[in-house]
Amino acid sequence: MKEIATQIEARFAEMGVKVEIKDIETRLNRLINEFKVPAEEARRNVINYFLKEYDIPRTEFYTPRETHLVKASDINEDGRWITLRAKVVQLWESNHESISQVGLLGDESGTIKFTKWAKAELPDVVEGNCYLFKNITTSEYQGQFSVKFNKTSEILPIDEDIDVGSIPVEFRGAIVDIQNGSGLIKRCPECNRALVKGACGEHGKVDGVYDLRVKAVMDNGEKVQDILLNREMTETFIGLTLDEAKDMATEALDQAVVCDLIKNKLIGRYFIASGAKVDRFILVESIKKDEEPVVEEINMLLAHTAPVSQEA
Amino acid sequence: MAEGGYFREVAHRVFAAEFNESTLQARDGEDQYAPQYLLTPTGAKCNRVFVMGTLTEKEDVGTDAQFWRGRIVDPTGAFTVYAGQYQPEAAAVLAKTVPPEFIAVVGKPSTYETKEGHIVTSIRPEYIQVVDADTRDRWVVDAAKLTFARLDKLRGAEPDAVKAREFYSTNEAQYRDMVVQALESLRAQ
């Protein structure tokens, strides 16, 4: 209910009308809790009441506003109404009946998760096609952003191909963890998933195909960033080919030796990594040891506090 | 393990002098599984720390199983780390490393109250790695930068800053001086 009230308040605020949120809540509360009116109906009633009160024509209130066209990577605020020009990169399996489609959208700047509510009654999108998504909302959950399609959203197919996520992001920091599933792993030949104890989550016990990868956590003291190195990146960065890794594992009778080697080379050191950001990972396209000279930074830091240090 | 409600804690860069002055343990919420934090005098709310220094001493203080204690010295003081059977990788590194050596530690802060009522801080390592001198210097600059950043915010209204200020009556000048000395030690080399 609180949510509905804030939404109503925000919508009126956009039209330049200040409505007390307490008034909205009182009215909603009376309808919903006392008179058992369904939430949607109550919202309608309250909106209509204030429209009349402030003499705003209904059409003006309900006409969809032109929302701003933004880039996927610029989405950094919860509860914004936006327009997105993007390609459907991936469709995932919906795990709830209230969600008709869920997946990943991408534009030149990067990718973002989307959710299309069943209630929105919008046409289905097709993987690989590009659309203009009008009047969708942004949302945030634990630092991850996504967009949601609702009843007022519009999906317009566009006849061009969008190159997804070519602007790489850079992260500078120390590697503080190498996660399970790094090093020499086996993948399912059917679906390419990494096997856990020789079994695929989808296809059960299968004869896996060897692969090499690194799942690491970088940290700059203020933010954490997961990074992912595929086989090629891992081979050049660690200086170990897949075949050499296999030999190592065979000799030690243990796949974990490869992961240990990676840990010993990376943990506790500073790196600069860049690549496309997909979900919470940076898919690393380039990574190098951070060897920028520190002298300048030392001087800058000392200059910053010079007066204080003299006092002290 | 990274799905859903999981949220990885940032590894805070804290100098030894500040870390050892930290006595305020806090927990987010009542739940026994809620993460535990150590709040430092400049307002770093640490559930995880990332520190570096010179391993100067190590000793197996375990009675039955191996339990390694290491002393890691940075420009401001010394950290104590304890690694036993539940930190096998870190314990193995301590076991085989011959001091002095530069080492990096990623780990969880832990505190212990002595009979006299003193609170002693130490680190329970997730990882210990031998590193080179350049990496250690880079950490000193990193820790300096982040400690300054915390000091700059210490008079502000952020809850961690307010709590630290009220609990420790932090002497800002003293900590600025600590950072300056750490940086000067790099320049003197």
Residue-wise pLDDT tens digits, A9-45 = 888 887 778 888 899 999 999 999 888 988 888 988 9
Indicate whether A73 pLDDT > 90.
no
Where does the pLDDT of residue A306 fall: very low under 50, low under 70, confident under 90, or very high at 90 and above? low
- Best CA proximity match to B70, nearest among B122, B11, B139, B15: B122
B48 token code pair? 């995880």
Asked if B173's CB is within 8 angstroms of A270's CB, the reply is no
Sequence ranges of the domains in chain B: 8-183
B8-183 CATH choice from 2.40.50.100, 3.30.2130.10, 2.40.50.140, 1.10.10.410:
2.40.50.140
Tell me which residues of chain A, numbers 222 to 241, contact chain B at a CB-CB cutoff of 8 Å: 222-224, 226
- Which chain B positions have a beta carbon within 8 Å of A272's beta carbon? none
Phi/psi of residue B74, nearest 5 degrees: -110, 180
Which whole number is the average pLDDT over A248-254? 94
Return d(Cα A204, Cα A196) in angstroms, integer.
Answer: 10
A244 and B CB contact within 8 Å: no
B153 and A CB contact within 8 Å: no
- Best CA proximity match to A165, nearest among A50, A84, A251, A283: A283
pLDDT digits over B119-156, tens only?
999 999 999 999 999 999 999 999 999 999 999 999 99
**Between B172-187 and B133-153, two packed helices, what is the crossing angle to 10 degrees?**
160
Is ipTM strictly over 0.90? yes
Instruction: Determine contact, residues A231/A283, Cβ cutoff 8 Å.
Output: no
B56 and A CB contact within 8 Å: no
Return d(Cα A222, Cα B148) in angstroms, integer.
Answer: 13
pLDDT digits over B60-115, tens only?
999 988 999 999 999 999 999 999 999 999 999 999 999 999 999 999 999 999 99
Phi/psi of residue B132, nearest 5 degrees: -95, 175
**B contact test, residue of A264, A296, A309 with most B CBs within 10 A:** A309
> Which residue of chain A is at minimal alpha-carbon distance from B144?
A301
* CATH class of the domain defined by A168-297: mainly beta
Could you tell me what percent of chain A has a pLDDT over 90? 46
- Which chain B positions have a beta carbon within 8 Å of A221's beta carbon? 10-13, 50, 142, 146
Where does the pLDDT of residue A192 fall: very low under 50, low under 70, confident under 90, or very high at 90 and above? confident
Note the CATH architecture for domain A68-157. Beta Barrel (2.40)
Asked if B145's CB is within 8 angstroms of A263's CB, the reply is no
Listed in sequence order, the residues at least 6 apart from B43 whose beta carbon sits closer than 8 Å to its beta carbon are B150, B153, B154, B158, B160, B161, B163, B164, B165
Residues forming CATH 2.40.50.140 domain(s) in chain A: 68-157, 168-297
Instruction: Determine contact, residues B78/B116, Cβ cutoff 8 Å.
Output: no
Instruction: Determine contact, residues B166/B154, Cβ cutoff 8 Å.
Output: no
Instruction: Determine contact, residues B49/B109, Cβ cutoff 8 Å.
Output: yes
Indicate whether A86 pLDDT > 70.
yes
Indicate whether B4 pLDDT > 50.
no
Return d(Cα A32, Cα A233) in angstroms, integer.
Answer: 57
Return d(Cα B70, Cα B90) in angstroms, integer.
Answer: 11
- Which chain B positions have a beta carbon within 8 Å of A224's beta carbon? 8-10
pLDDT digits over A287-302, tens only?
999 998 899 999 999 9
Tell me which residues of chain B, numbers 7 to 36, contact chain A at a CB-CB cutoff of 8 Å: 7-13
Could you tell me what percent of chain A has a pLDDT over 70? 95
- Which chain B positions have a beta carbon within 8 Å of A308's beta carbon? 172-173, 176
Cβ neighbours of A81 (radius 10 Å): 20
Nearest to B141 among A176, A294, A308 (CB): A294
Indicate whether B56 pLDDT > 80.
yes
